[in-house]
Amino acid sequence: PHNAACQNTSNLPKMSEEEPVDPLPQIRKDCMKSCPAAKGDYEACIKRIEERGDGDCEAWYFDMLHCVDKCAAPKVSKLLK
């Protein structure tokens, strides 16, 4: 048996009908523009791998992500305040 007080939800705030939108993907996309060197290095690595058919670009990928996250972090932090 549940407590009747727990079943009454009329005093809870109503949620919007719209689904919340995660701003991080758009922020990261916008920040990619501020990382042309890292993105270029990663894309050059991908091209080399496609031509040779061997290897990986993990280090270049993480360098690119580091650049993007460095740009995105203060923007996300501002949204959380």
pLDDT in tens, 31-45: 999 999 999 999 999
3-state secondary structure of 21: coil
pLDDT in tens, 16-66: 678 888 999 999 999 999 999 999 999 999 999 999 989 999 999 999 999
pLDDT (0 to 100) of residue 81: 76
Select from 25, 39, 21, 22 the least CA-distant residue to 72.
25
15 φ/ψ sector (left φ>0, alpha ψ -120 to 50, else beta) = beta
CA distance 68 to 14: 36
Contact indicator for 28, 72 with CB cutoff of 8 Å: yes
Looking at this protein, which amino acid is placed at residue 17?
E
